[in-house]
């Protein structure tokens, strides 16, 4: 990728690769088995300002934009998808405030988030509002100078570690669902903000996902992000950007599947020659490499469009759709190439497959992404 990365971006990639190989990779198995990311990993990420890569410099971030963020997420996901997903998820609430928040909200929340004072969470999903994001049932009612929030969110990433959450809530009486939502900042230490049970998941086990309950949770009116009733349109823009994070995680998973499979195929001898000499294996590796490079290019294109303030909804959806599906395919092929040993937990390929599956669901399912792409085509 040297031919289109700037010197600053190339230096970032080298630093993050060293961090991934030296700090994250040795602990990846522990993350998967314990369901927790060791504090030293997050502390080192904070020291490297990885939590503030896309946050403007004026608010303590690196200001390296989405290409910088994609570089970091891909390199970390290559060794531990859970760690990459946690860092990526932190960008969601930060981006909401960066794009739509007031100057005071940026000072109050972006600065500590960039400096790693706490992680942020984004809470939109509900039991009846998954892909149908406008169908939520969490309400925020104005009473005097405050919002009173009641409801429940599910599958909230970083909920346990979060110092605040950006949430969607119904604030308007409009009959049109898309005009009812608003975004609110809710500090996690408020009365009525309760963290529920943790989900036991197939993969991405190091990612903390919890329910959040709001029971007459009171926040000031000033915690409204942007305009009342604009939450749906804000959410669409944010989701489009979040999909680039998902694509980058997927590219990282596909990369390690190719790397590990290629190395194994070269050293594993059967019938008197390395597996890499058999056409059946060579074709698998060729397909993995081709699909990976296409996914990476599409992901970087989507990130470039965001950094240059150009329309990106179609490209973000394409990048996330293609990258997530080829990540699952690459993980499947990696297990096939490694054979029976990779079906055991002695090899990490089974973890790659479990982690990859989430990427076909989170930040927009493959089905929703195809609908989005078709709409952008005018269908």
Residue 292 tokens read as 């990976």
Domain 120-229: give its CATH architecture.
Beta Barrel (2.40)
| Catalytic residue (one of 74, 75, 211, 363) | 363
Indicate the domain borders of the chain: 7-117, 120-229, 232-376
Q: Name the CATH topology of 7-117.
A: Butyryl-Coa Dehydrogenase, subunit A; domain 1 (1.10.540)
Contacts of 302 (CB under 8 A, 6+ apart): 66, 243, 244, 247, 312, 315, 316, 318, 319
Which SS3 state, helix, strand or coil, does residue 123 take? strand
Could you count the other beta carbons within 10 Å of the beta carbon of residue 41?
Answer: 24
Residue 313 tokens read as 């909804």
Outline where DSSP puts E strands in 128-192.
Answer: 139-143, 146-157, 162-170, 181-187
Is 75 an annotated catalytic residue? no
CATH of 232-376, one of 1.20.1260.10, 3.40.50.300, 3.40.30.10, 1.20.140.10: 1.20.140.10
Question: Looking at the whole model, is its pTM more than 0.75?
Answer: yes
Per-residue pLDDT of the chain (379 residues; tens, 9 = 90+): 555 789 999 999 999 999 999 999 999 999 999 999 999 999 999 999 999 988 999 999 999 999 999 999 999 999 999 999 999 999 999 999 999 999 999 999 999 999 999 999 999 999 988 888 888 899 999 999 999 999 999 999 999 999 999 999 999 987 787 899 999 999 999 999 999 989 999 999 999 999 999 999 999 999 999 999 999 999 999 999 999 999 999 999 999 999 999 999 999 999 999 999 999 999 999 999 999 999 999 999 999 999 999 999 999 999 999 999 999 999 999 999 999 999 999 999 999 999 999 999 999 999 999 999 999 999 8
Domains 7-117 and 120-229 share a fold: no
The answer to whether the beta carbons of residues 177 and 134 sit under 8 Å apart is yes
């Amino acid at each position: 990728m040297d031919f289109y990365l700037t010197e600053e971006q190339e230096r970032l990639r080298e630093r993050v690769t060293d961090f991934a190989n030296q700090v994250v990779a040795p602990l990846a198995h522990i993350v998967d088995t314990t369901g927790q990311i060791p504090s030293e990993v997050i502390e080192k990420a904070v020291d490297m300002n990885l939590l503030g890569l896309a946050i403007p410099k004026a608010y303590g971030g690196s200001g390296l934009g989405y290409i910088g963020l994609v570089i970091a997420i891909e390199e970390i996901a290559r060794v531990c998808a859970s760690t990459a997903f946690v860092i990526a998820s932190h960008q969601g609430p930060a981006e909401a405030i960066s794009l739509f928040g007031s100057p005071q909200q940026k000072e109050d929340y972006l600065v500590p988030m960039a400096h790693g004072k706490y992680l942020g969470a984004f809470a939109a999903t509900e039991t009846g509002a998954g892909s149908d994001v406008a169908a939520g049932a969490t309400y925020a009612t104005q009473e005097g100078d405050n919002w009173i929030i009641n409801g429940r969110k599910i599958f909230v990433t970083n909920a346990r570690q979060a110092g605040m959450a950006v949430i969607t809530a119904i604030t308007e009486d409009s009959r049109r669902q898309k005009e009812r939502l608003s975004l609110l900042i809710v500090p996690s230490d408020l009365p009525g903000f309760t963290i529920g049970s943790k989900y036991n998941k197939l993969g991405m086990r190091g990612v903390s996902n919890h329910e959040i309950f709001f029971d007459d949770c009171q926040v000031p009116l000033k915690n409204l992000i942007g305009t009342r009733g604009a939450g749906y349109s804000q959410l669409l823009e944010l989701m489009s950007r979040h999909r680039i994070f998902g694509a980058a995680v997927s590219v990282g998973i596909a990369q390690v599947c190719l790397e590990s499979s290629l190395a194994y195929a070269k050293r594993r001898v059967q019938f008197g020659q390395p597996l890499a000499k058999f056409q059946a294996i060579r074709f698998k590796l060729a397909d993995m490499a081709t699909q990976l490079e296409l996914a990476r290019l599409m992901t970087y294109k989507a990130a470039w469009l965001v950094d240059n303030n150009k329309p990106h909804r179609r490209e973000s959806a394409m990048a996330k759709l293609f990258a997530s599906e080829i990540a699952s395919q690459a993980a499947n092929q990696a297990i096939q190439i490694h054979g029976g040993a990779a079906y055991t937990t002695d090899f990490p390929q089974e973890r790659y497959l479990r982690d990859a599956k989430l990427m076909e669901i989170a930040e927009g399912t493959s089905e929703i992404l195809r609908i989005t792409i078709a709409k952008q085509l005018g269908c």
